[in-house]
Amino acid sequence: AIMNKYGILLNPRATQDEIKVVKSIFKRDAGVGTVGFGLSFVRAGAVVNSYGAIVSSKTTGPELMNLTSMLKL
């Protein structure tokens, strides 16, 4: 998972119950997604903070849009 002060992007294999638990613990929006052309270990393909992100060169447009939407970048 990757997180900033606005949101959390989780592994796409996270269940709805796991997402609810993460939301309640961290008090942030949470969702699932991939980076690097389907890499489910998002931490391996992205580094983020509350001001921006550095992602794998293989990250697709839809993945990047999902990441920026979830993390409000």
pLDDT tens digits for range 2-60:
999 999 999 999 999 999 999 999 999 999 999 999 999 999 999 999 999 999 999 99
SS (H, E, C) 45-71: HEEECCCCEEECCCCCHHHHHHHHHHH
Q: Which uninterrupted H or E stretch holds 44?
A: helix 42-45
Percent of the chain at pLDDT > 90 equals: 100
Q: Residue 2 forms beta bridges with which residues?
A: 9
For the entire predicted model, the pTM comes to: 0.91
Cα-based distances in Å from 25 to 22, 30, 56, 73: 5, 11, 28, 22
